[in-house]
């Protein structure tokens, strides 16, 4: 008897629980191929990102020491800011590659019998194309974020009492733009049309977007916190001893730094693997919204039926 599970279709109306379970099932079903190519693409990124993180923490300790001495604020803060921007830049590259890889695999999953036997030749062009579209999303999202921040500052400048409503408003409108990523990556659509469609779908599925993302990010945050704890403990010990001026020989040794680096790589790489879950969950929330509001799933079923009977 054939016990193989049914394919997890992207465009299908789902209950809240089905969105979560389908995201978990997709990752569980395809974890081997996901882990294989996440390792290829993101382990080098994790190595660089951890180097930047450790430099940032060292810069933070140095700036705290210099600010307490005779050095200028600029001399203390400049290396810290450089490390921070490098860390954020590398982190975005990792997110861009992870989203592009995950959504390329989800597209292939829709087109072929599962992902068994998938090779890089099947993924390479799709990952490159979606990475470029992620870059466009980053630029437009950055500009939009600046505009929203300026509006928030303007509201607060008009009246300090507006600070609480302004914060609530900014939090409330975030779900309206969250679907822009799967829309722009799954569809052949312009960036302006993607934002317009995201607002339209987000308006009607606001609660579902907020709920699914909250649960999945909470789950990821808990696991990530556990995985990252050893690295954080080593950083905190070094920081406390440095501020007290009582660093021991081991804390300042190469061995301590090497262990801290390895634990940082594990934390960063595991974080990338864990982020696959909310990325997949957002895609299924998008598929739910498209089918519920625009009937995309029904249209695709009709097209497939006509193709089979042609």
User: In angstroms, what CA-CA distances link 134 with 114, 121, 127, 215, 289?
Assistant: 25, 21, 10, 24, 21
Q: What is the pTM of this model?
A: 0.86
| pLDDT of 111 | 85
| pLDDT of 173 | 82
| pLDDT of 170 | 78
| pLDDT of 60 | 66
Q: What is the pLDDT along the chain (310 residues), one digit of tens a residue?
A: 445 677 888 999 999 999 999 999 999 999 999 999 999 999 999 999 998 888 877 766 666 555 454 445 555 566 677 777 888 888 899 999 999 999 999 999 988 767 888 889 899 999 999 999 999 999 999 998 898 888 888 888 887 777 788 778 777 788 888 999 999 999 999 999 999 999 999 888 988 999 999 999 999 999 999 999 999 898 888 777 766 665 567 777 788 889 999 999 999 999 999 999 999 999 999 999 999 998 875 545 545 434 434 4
| pLDDT of 251 | 74
Is the four-CA dihedral 187, 191, 193, 194 of positive or negative sign?
positive
């Amino acid at each position: 008897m054939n016990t193989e599970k049914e394919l997890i279709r992207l465009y299908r109306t789902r209950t809240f629980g089905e969105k979560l379970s389908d995201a978990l099932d997709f990752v569980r079903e395809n974890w081997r191929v996901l882990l294989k190519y996440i390792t290829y693409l993101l382990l080098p990124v994790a190595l660089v990102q951890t180097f930047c993180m450790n430099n940032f923490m060292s810069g933070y300790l140095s700036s705290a020491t210099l600010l307490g001495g005779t050095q200028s604020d600029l001399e203390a803060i400049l290396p810290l800011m450089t490390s921070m921007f490098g860390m954020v830049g590398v982190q975005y590259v990792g997110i861009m590659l992870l989203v592009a890889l995950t959504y390329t695999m989800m597209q292939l999953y829709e087109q072929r019998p599962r992902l068994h036997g998938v090779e890089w030749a099947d993924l390479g062009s799709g990952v490159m194309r979606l990475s470029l579209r992620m870059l466009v999303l980053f630029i437009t999202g950055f500009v939009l974020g600046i505009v929203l921040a300026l509006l928030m500052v303007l509201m607060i400048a008009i009246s300090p009492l507006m600070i609480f409503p302004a914060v609530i408003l900014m939090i409330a409108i975030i779900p309206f733009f969250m679907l822009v990523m799967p829309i722009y990556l799954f569809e052949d659509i312009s960036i302006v049309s993607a934002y317009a469609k995201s607002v339209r779908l987000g308006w009607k599925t606001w609660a579902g977007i907020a709920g699914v993302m909250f649960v999945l990010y909470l789950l990821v945050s808990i696991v990530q916190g556990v995985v990252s704890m050893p690295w954080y403990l080593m950083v905190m010990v070094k920081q406390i001893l440095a501020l007290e001026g009582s660093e021991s020989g081991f804390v300042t040794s190469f061995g301590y730094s090497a262990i801290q680096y390895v634990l940082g790589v594990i934390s960063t790489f595991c974080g990338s693997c864990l982020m696959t879950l909310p990325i997949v969950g957002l895609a299924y929330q998008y598929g739910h919204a498209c089918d519920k509001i625009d009937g995309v799933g029904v249209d695709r079923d009709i097209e497939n039926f006509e193709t089979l009977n042609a």
